[in-house]
Amino acid sequence: MREIDQRADVVRHFNRFYTRRIGALGAAHLGSEFSLTEVRVLYELARGDRTTASGIASTLGIDRGYLSRTLRAFKRRGLITTRRDADDRRHTHLALTAAGRKAFAPLDQRARDEVVRMLAPLSDAHQQRVVRAMATIRGSLEPAKRPAPRATEEPFTLRSHRAGDMGWIVHRHGALYQAEYGYDERFEALVARVVADFIEHLDPSRERCWIAERSGEIAGSVFVVSKSKHVAKLRLLLVEPSARGLGIGRRLVDEVVQFARQAGYKKIVLWTQSELTAARRIYHAAGFRCVREESHRSFGTPAIAEVWELKL
Q: What is the CATH number of the domain that holds 44?
A: 1.10.10.10
pLDDT above 50 for 159: yes
Element (H, E) at 158: strand 157-160
Three-state DSSP state, 266: coil
Phi, psi of 219 (to 5 degrees): -120, -10
Three-state DSSP state, 259: helix
Q: How many CA atoms lie within 13 A of 196 on its CB side?
A: 6
Question: pLDDT tens, 190-248?
Answer: 999 999 999 999 999 999 999 999 988 899 999 999 999 999 999 999 999 989 899 99
**Residue 290 to residue 309: CA distance in whole angstroms:** 7
- Is 86 within the bounds of a domain? yes
pLDDT above 60 for 146: no
Is 188 found in the same domain as 49? no
- Is 142 within the bounds of a domain? no
Give the global pTM: 0.55
**Residue 162 to residue 166: CA distance in whole angstroms:** 8
Q: Which domain holds residue 71?
A: 3-121
- Mean pLDDT for the stretch of residues 120-147: 72
C-beta of residue 173 within 8 angstroms of C-beta of residue 187:
yes
Is 298 found in the same domain as 174? yes
In the 8-state DSSP scheme, what is residue 149?
A: P
**Residue 45 to residue 66: CA distance in whole angstroms:** 16
Element (H, E) at 137: helix 124-141
Question: pLDDT tens, 44-79?
Answer: 888 766 678 888 888 788 888 888 899 899 899 999
Give the gyration radius of the chain's Cα atoms: 26
C-beta of residue 93 within 8 angstroms of C-beta of residue 48:
no
Phi, psi of 9 (to 5 degrees): -65, -40
Three-state DSSP state, 83: strand
Is 198 found in the same domain as 59? no
Number of domains present in the structure of the chain: 2
Going by their DSSP bridges, the two strands 80-84 and 51-52 should be labelled as unpaired
